[in-house]
């Protein structure tokens, strides 16, 4: 491959919460680089996922969902982080959900459209649309809203039309040598990914009971032969939440620990021993200093 034919660059994946941005990044990268749950605001910080092909290096920036509620410090930090990522990227992709156009989508389009970098549109979750021709008027309406670099329907979950999206992304990126080693697929180390896998299982297990006021911090990570020993603290905001997270007889915490450990073993390719602790730190989501100490300082 001649150097002049190789493309590389940063692609910000943006949009309102819950449209499937993280699922799309994981599907394109082929690894779980970003956690996924049915709850909005699962992704809290910028996550990089890379895919290197024969013709390009696609560096995806998964961003927290863009939302209008800026009341809490955590929400503001997430919006800041998402826009910083989008404004530094070579290319942005707005992700929307097929046949769904909401106030927050309009808000996201308005802000991303004004950044000046090329903006493509991925219409996700088309697996939910039947019959498929119901998509056509939606695609036309979207094309009328903005002069997108491309508009492509996909299903991240079913991996439908992702090769087409990959081709469009490759064409839209600048000619550039690789920016990361070809085998690297994320910028997060194992510790950070481990903390995220715990948070994912907590959100899945708790659903309605706990909003997003939970953070996970890895206290200790030791490689003991081929065994990875991890100890993590789950931070909650209230004593009552602590009881919910632990669950009757410690059952909920045990299940969360087991599911997260299995995910780690699958992704890290080694045995994991995981210990979880639950501690209370009041109002951390409202406190900029507490956020910084939990790793939300960027953006
Ligand atoms: P994000 O908040 O935009 O990052 O969205 P997530 O990737 O966390 O996904 C939110 C929810 O939508 C999860 O329950 C996903 O399983 C679901 N989802 C994502 N992509 C698809 C898709 O292509 N089809 C369907 N039916 N569901 C999807
Ligand atoms: Mg996400």
pLDDT in tens, 165-177: 999 999 999 999 9
Q: How many CB atoms lie within 10 A of CB 157?
A: 16
Q: Once rounded to an integer, what is the mean pLDDT over residues 216-233?
A: 95
41 lines ligand 1 (CB under 6 A): no
Q: Give the up-direction half-sphere exposure of residue 147: CA atoms within 13 A in the CB hemisphere.
A: 4
State yes or no: pLDDT of 297 exceeds 70: no
Atom 13 of ligand 1 has which residue's CA nearest to it?
38
Q: Residues 249-266, buried b or exposed e (16+ Cβ, 10 A)?
A: eeebbeebbebbbebbee
67 lines ligand 1 (CB under 6 A): no
pLDDT computed for residue 185 by the predictor:
96
Which atom of ligand 1 approaches the CA of 128 most closely?
A: 26
130 lines ligand 1 (CB under 6 A): no
pLDDT: which is higher, 22 or 294: 22
pLDDT computed for residue 268 by the predictor:
94
State yes or no: pLDDT of 277 exceeds 70: yes
Q: Once rounded to an integer, what is the mean pLDDT over residues 151-179?
A: 97
pLDDT in tens, 45-68: 778 999 999 999 999 999 887 776
The answer to pTM > 0.75 is yes
pLDDT computed for residue 298 by the predictor:
43
Atom 19 of ligand 1 has which residue's CA nearest to it?
20
Q: How many CB atoms lie within 10 A of CB 3?
A: 8
295 lines ligand 1 (CB under 6 A): no
End-to-end CA distance of the chain: 36
CB 14 within 8 A of CB 67: no
pLDDT computed for residue 80 by the predictor:
75
pLDDT computed for residue 212 by the predictor:
56
pLDDT: which is higher, 251 or 87: 251
Percent share of the chain, pLDDT over 90 = 68
State yes or no: pLDDT of 117 exceeds 90: no
State yes or no: pLDDT of 294 exceeds 70: no
Q: pLDDT class for 293, splitting at 50, 70, 90?
A: low
Q: pLDDT class for 2, splitting at 50, 70, 90?
A: low
38 lines ligand 1 (CB under 6 A): yes
pLDDT in tens, 88-97: 899 999 999 9
Q: Once rounded to an integer, what is the mean pLDDT over residues 171-197?
A: 95
For ligand 2, a single-atom ion, the residues with CB < 5 A are 21-22, 43
Structural domains in the chain, CATH included, are 3-172 (3.40.50.300), 190-293 (3.30.300.20)
Q: Once rounded to an integer, what is the mean pLDDT over residues 160-166?
A: 98
Q: pLDDT class for 299, splitting at 50, 70, 90?
A: very low
Q: Once rounded to an integer, what is the mean pLDDT over residues 108-133?
A: 93
State yes or no: pLDDT of 271 exceeds 90: yes
Q: HEC profile for the chain?
A: CCHHHCEEEEEEEECCCCCCHHHHHHHHHCCCCCCCCCCCCCCCCCEEEEEECCCEEEEEEECCCCCCCCCCHHHHHHHHHHHHHHHHCCEEEEEEECCCCCHHHHHHHHHHHCCCCCEEEEEECHHHCCCHHHHHHHHHHHHHHCCCCCEEECECCCCECHHHHHHHHHHHCCECCCCCCCCCCECCCHHHHHHHHHHHHHHHHHCCCCCCCEEEEEEEEEEECCEEEEEEEEEECCHHHHHHHHCHHHHHHHHHHHHHHHHHHHHHCCEEEEEEEEEECCCHHHCHHHHHHCCCCCC
Which atom of ligand 1 approaches the CA of 16 most closely?
A: 3
The dihedral region occupied by 58, where left means phi > 0, alpha psi between -120 and 50, and beta the remainder, is: beta
Looking only at Cα atoms, what is the longest distance across the chain? 62
Atom 22 of ligand 1 has which residue's CA nearest to it?
125
State yes or no: pLDDT of 225 exceeds 90: yes
pLDDT computed for residue 240 by the predictor:
87
pLDDT computed for residue 296 by the predictor:
60
User: What are the tokens at 123?
Assistant: 């219409």
C-alpha–C-alpha distance, residues 147 and 250, integer Å: 53
């Amino acid at each position: 491959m001649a150097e002049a034919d190789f493309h590389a660059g940063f692609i910000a994946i943006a949009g309102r919460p819950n449209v499937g941005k993280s699922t799309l990044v994981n599907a394109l990268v082929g690894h779980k680089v970003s956690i996924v749950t049915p709850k909005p605001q699962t992704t809290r910080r910028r996550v990089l996922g890379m895919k290197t092909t024969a013709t390009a290096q696609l560096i995806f920036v998964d961003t927290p969902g863009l939302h209008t509620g800026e009341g809490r410090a955590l929400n503001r930090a997430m919006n800041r982080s998402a826009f910083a990522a989008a404004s530094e990227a070579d290319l942005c992709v707005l992700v929307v959900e097929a046949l769904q156009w909401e106030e927050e989508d309009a808000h996201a389009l308005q802000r991303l459209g004004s950044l000046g970098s090329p903006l493509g549109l991925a219409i996700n979750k088309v697996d939910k649309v039947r019959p498929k021709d119901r998509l056509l008027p939606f695609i036309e309406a979207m094309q009328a809203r903005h002069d997108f670099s491309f508009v492509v329907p996909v299903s991240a979950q079913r991996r439908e039309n992702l090769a087409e999206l990959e081709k469009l992304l490759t064409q839209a990126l600048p000619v550039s040598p690789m920016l990361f080693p070809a085998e690297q697929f994320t910028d997060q180390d194992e510790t950070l990914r481990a903390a995220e896998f715990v948070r994912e299982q907590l959100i899945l297990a708790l659903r309605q009971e706990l909003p997003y006021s939970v953070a996970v911090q890895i206290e200790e990570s030791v490689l003991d032969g081929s065994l990875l020993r991890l100890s993590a603290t789950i931070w909650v905001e209230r004593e009552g939440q602590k009881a919910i997270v632990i669950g009757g007889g410690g059952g909920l915490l045990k299940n969360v620990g087991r599911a997260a450990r299995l995910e780690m073993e699958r992704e890290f390719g080694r045995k994991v021993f995981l210990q979880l602790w639950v501690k209370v730190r009041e109002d951390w989501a409202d406190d900029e200093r507490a956020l910084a100490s939990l790793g939300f300082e960027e953006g």
